Amino acid sequence: MVIVVGNPANTNCLTASKSAPSIPKENFSCLTRLDHNRAKAQVALKLGVTANDVKNVIIWGNHSSTQYPDVNHAKVKLQGKEVGVYEALKDDSWLKGEFVTTVQQRGAAVIKARKLSSAMSAAKAICDHVRDIWFGTPEGEFVSMGVISDGNSYGVPDDLLYSFPVVIKNKTWKFVEGLPINDFSREKMDLTAKELTEEKESAFEFLSSA
């Protein structure tokens, strides 16, 4: 397994995969777990629960400010019962507005506040990412991971390194299939795919002329 963290993580990961054709491209992944953890934490803060009470948030796309944190399929444990995050929060405008931009720009906000990057949070996210590859995802839960987009059912072009919801078993990831995608999500998912396509073209143009 090759895990890429250095930015631009998705395109760096795709470039690494292309440069090592003897390694299966499914063995390359990039870190979007920090964004995933931040999305869980924002929801938990808003609801007054712990981040462990929130599951199945999704980071779609690029590890950049175009990423799309999606809680349409997320669940939260409240008073011992699991409920949908939209149902629990009853605040669609926050979930479609401030929540999305807060997660997208959290890294920049941390640097601005601390004059340092969130290195410990990133280290924790790397541990989470590796642990789930090694031990698998818990039953009924999925996580976000930047992986090769080939064969996905969400209309994302092939040959991009894009963050998807995945489940992992026996050290092998699989796309979570069949999640309904609304128009708001579709637009955000397409926007981040477009950025990744442009990044990929720029990187490969540079590499071919180097």
pLDDT digits (tens, 9 = 90+) for 71-130: 999 999 999 999 999 999 999 999 999 999 999 987 666 667 766 666 788 899 999 999
* Residue numbers annotated as active site: 63
Question: Does residue 124 belong to any structural domain of this protein?
Answer: yes
Question: Does residue 114 belong to any structural domain of this protein?
Answer: yes
Q: How many helices (H) and strands (E) does the chain have?
A: 8, 10
Q: What is the largest CA-CA distance in the chain?
A: 59
Question: Does residue 206 belong to any structural domain of this protein?
Answer: no
* Total structural domains within the chain: 1
Give the pLDDT confidence score for residue 116 in this predicted structure: 64
Question: Does residue 183 belong to any structural domain of this protein?
Answer: yes
pTM: 0.94
Question: Does residue 159 belong to any structural domain of this protein?
Answer: yes
List all residues 6 or more positions away from 201 whose beta carbon is below 8 Å from its beta carbon.
none
Instruction: Name which of 209, 202, 208, 205 is nearest 8 in CA terms.
Output: 202
Give the pLDDT confidence score for residue 151 in this predicted structure: 97
Side chain identity at residue 153, one-letter code:
S
Q: What CATH number should be reported for the domain holding residue 149? A: 3.90.110.10
Give the pLDDT confidence score for residue 209 in this predicted structure: 78
Peptide bond into 8 cis (omega under 30): yes
pLDDT under 50 in the chain at which residues?
none
Give the pLDDT confidence score for residue 24 in this predicted structure: 98
Question: Does residue 209 belong to any structural domain of this protein?
Answer: no
Tell me if 152 sits within 8 A of 135, measured CB to CB.
no
Range of the domain at 193: 2-201
Give the pLDDT confidence score for residue 111 in this predicted structure: 63
| C-alpha span between 9 and 133 (Å, rounded) | 18
- Distances in Å between the Cα of 179 and the Cα atoms of 75, 96, 164 are 14, 18, 11
